[in-house]
Structure 1
């Protein structure tokens, strides 16, 4: 049966779910197995839940999940619980946002740090601070020359060897299939018969995995910035090449330049040409000077393009690269959580089929660069550690992806998403058993919070079960330079 036929067959069941969603939840009993803690950020309740290290071997011990609950503001009229994942893999999700004012009013919102991340049980690859130097050289960059490629392969192999030596048993139990089983334990602990879930980016792959492992337990899944589960999990090319985010990098920069128009007194390709010849020194708004490399510029451009509302900062950065008299925005960021980042890497390498020869990344990066200049190698080299990191989780899930479920809401940005390309959301709508795509007419990563139209559909979906008609397109609340 095709996904479309399954949708028709499920119409009656979906209607029943929608009616049931209107009834307020009964007074909730204390979540089973969760240990609540005395301190937490204001407005939240924090706790933890112990779950099996291996769902295939319960005798292997347990790991700890850190949990945060944002209580509904209208507890008397509360409809239940929405679980949350912000993306990654490797990102903390313990302190979930309110999602929308209406959802914050009617639902408790529960976030958690997936195993391997944040305040949950983590792997520790490094035993000496000096070892972090090789990590900085190996990850978050890409080579421009064959000599640099050889060095990056060697540095990355050193990192993965350290993780293999020091990571411990948890490193082989970090696949999304295992994390989805953790999510089901959380659902049960909070007394929810069906899962309500909002996931962004990698969180959409977690939601897709849950929907196909536990199709009968799906209540409402809103998946924002959609990963294609087939391309994520299977294929012979590097996974980061298969997802083809670099295609939407090219689309997003065109959308930005079209919106910028006469404000942008520079040529994007000429800036990249200059950077390929060597670093450019810029002065930021604090007066600090720094040398910007080609790789560093692509990373910052990529970051700005994740949200169309950052267009003025991107324009100022590009102008500073083109004109030394202009000031660049001060770079953002802080020290990374190295253990969480590598825990996320173990998840990615456990999930995704990748070549075992690190030398093949060079040619795939060149191919991708011809499609999305700069964005191609930036994307492709993200998965280089998977060539030499020998992690394998028996709980891994790689399909099928079309099991019948209650309606699933997909959100995607039509003008380009550099992390989760729009074409992947379109393929996923056709693939999943009962998915409905709502598009936002902008570029960037994620749609929630950028459009009153999108947020209103999120409210309707979680409260009543309603989904938009095919082809529904929302407008953003403001344009890139408004």
Structure 2
């Protein structure tokens, strides 16, 4: 969770608060999509609707929840080939208004974006009942401690947040696992009249696709999974899930790719910058003339965010130059406030899905080990799952494997120079783990491959139209370099 977004969110105060467990039950039959007007301010060209699904697939008497969808119609309806479902990642991120994916896919397919249960316009949990409770959220999430005293404070603050969620979130919090979300996806497939699932998922969306493929292997049509999570390490294993996935291993790899590309134009020393920040905050001036206090933790978070997109290399270079030289200006950081209820719904998904230690004190040891591999990136990653030590959410619909059920070919996409969110080694492991998967690599760093290479997008077109996959070991070149 991004600390900058959290600070912006606090300004919303009571506007973000609501009390209750489930959205009102829809009036239409659970078997069909209820179409309605899109919310004011939504992008144009979409049809909006929702589907009622069971709160619990194990207990149909428990009631229903609502899953919101947005449909981007194919531009050539006369020659439409079907529907592609879309998830952008998260968990906790809205995907209702999906991008066109590629021009060819937008022409021949309706693209249906989804707000998974717990997110956006779908049924959500509500943890906070008073604006003052939001203050602890900023201290608890999106950061990591540098001292034992700060560690104890973060553990205490995080427990305050998870206690509030246990008190106020209601029954939905215990029905937010990815296994349950994948069952919702199968209901949507049927509601749109598709015999097989076509799906593009990025980041956490790949875990939804992996779970679906193993719950419903016979209903897999074409699943393109971009920025691949290792499903086995996500769900099970020793230590915090955020340590097991080892995204921090790709931090130094992506950073070195950036530094190599920057060598002829950058004069700062990265290690010296981190050493200065560990000694205390640095105040910089941004290009809007504002004074910004940068801590070690906030710098790591911002560097991490810039490294998720190689095309952000000029902004990262300017940011690091400003930290090294007070006369330089830092880029203005923009972005709207997050939907806190959705973010905490995503947290419930993480904690429902993954095996994690129940003792929050052990996070420090794992963070220290990770820091030796990826300085700064290690603890930033590892502490993301600290709430799972004290948040007692369990979903009987959770899926933990097996992951190798035979399916139609599944296309995996990954960036081989480093991905700090979903490391390249995890994509390689997943190619071997799934029953029938093919990995297409993009020769760059960053998070996600679609839209960065004509080669990758052409293979997406071929895959969804004809089911074609590239030869093993195929590597695509990006359309532009980091400073292109």
**TM superposition score normalised by structure 2:** 0.93
Residues in 1 aligned to 2:334 and 2:448: alpha-carbon distance in whole angstroms: 20
Spell out, residue by residue over 1:394-452, the C-alpha distance to the aligned partner (whole angstroms, 9 max, x if none): 00000000000000000000000000000000000000000000000000000000000
Residues in 2 aligned to 1:47 and 1:425: alpha-carbon distance in whole angstroms: 34
1:329-478 alignment, distance < 5 Å: 329-478=331-480
Residues in 2 aligned to 1:264 and 1:150: alpha-carbon distance in whole angstroms: 39
| Residue number among 290, 293, 310 corresponding to 1:291 in the alignment | 293
Match in the other structure for 2:189:
187
Contact 1:31 1:189 in 2 (8 A): no
**How many pairs were matched up?**
453
Match in the other structure for 1:125:
127
Secondary structure at 1:47 match in 2: strand
Secondary structure at 2:264 match in 1: helix
Contact 2:30 2:51 in 1 (8 A): no
Secondary structure at 2:80 match in 1: coil
Residue 31 of structure 1 and its aligned partner are, at CA, apart by: 11
Match in the other structure for 1:206:
208
Residue 38 of structure 1 and its aligned partner are, at CA, apart by: 2.4
Residue 39 of structure 1 and its aligned partner are, at CA, apart by: 3.3
Residue 262 of structure 1 and its aligned partner are, at CA, apart by: 2.2
Residue 351 of structure 1 and its aligned partner are, at CA, apart by: 0.3
| Residue number among 237, 244, 261 corresponding to 1:235 in the alignment | 237
1:269-348 alignment, distance < 5 Å: 269-348=271-350
Residues in 1 aligned to 2:337 and 2:422: alpha-carbon distance in whole angstroms: 25
Secondary structure at 2:224 match in 1: strand
Residues in 2 aligned to 1:256 and 1:451: alpha-carbon distance in whole angstroms: 18
Contact 1:84 1:112 in 2 (8 A): yes
Spell out, residue by residue over 1:75-98, the C-alpha distance to the aligned partner (whole angstroms, 9 max, x if none): 000000000000000000000000
Residues in 1 aligned to 2:336 and 2:274: alpha-carbon distance in whole angstroms: 26
Spell out, residue by residue over 1:47-78, the C-alpha distance to the aligned partner (whole angstroms, 9 max, x if none): 11100000000000000011100000000000
Residue 236 of structure 1 and its aligned partner are, at CA, apart by: 1.5
Q: Which runs of 4+ in 1 moved over 6 A?
A: none
Q: Aligned-pair RMSD on alpha carbons?
A: 1.0
Contact 2:116 2:181 in 1 (8 A): yes
Residue 333 of structure 1 and its aligned partner are, at CA, apart by: 2.0
Residues in 1 aligned to 2:113 and 2:422: alpha-carbon distance in whole angstroms: 22
Match in the other structure for 1:23:
none
Residue 332 of structure 1 and its aligned partner are, at CA, apart by: 1.9
Secondary structure at 1:417 match in 2: coil
Match in the other structure for 1:27:
none
Structure 1, unaligned runs of 5 or more? 1-29
Match in the other structure for 1:115:
117
Match in the other structure for 1:37:
36
1:21-32 alignment, distance < 5 Å: 32=31
Residues in 1 aligned to 2:112 and 2:264: alpha-carbon distance in whole angstroms: 45
Structure 2, unaligned runs of 5 or more? 1-28
1:141-156 alignment, distance < 5 Å: 141-156=143-158
Residue 334 of structure 1 and its aligned partner are, at CA, apart by: 2.2
Residues in 2 aligned to 1:112 and 1:51: alpha-carbon distance in whole angstroms: 13
Secondary structure at 1:469 match in 2: coil
1:7-86 alignment, distance < 5 Å: 32-40=31-39, 41-86=43-88
Match in the other structure for 1:219:
221
Match in the other structure for 2:142:
140
Secondary structure at 1:263 match in 2: coil
Spell out, residue by residue over 1:247-303, the C-alpha distance to the aligned partner (whole angstroms, 9 max, x if none): 001110010000101211011111000000000010001011111000000010000
Secondary structure at 2:386 match in 1: helix
Contact 1:228 1:243 in 2 (8 A): yes
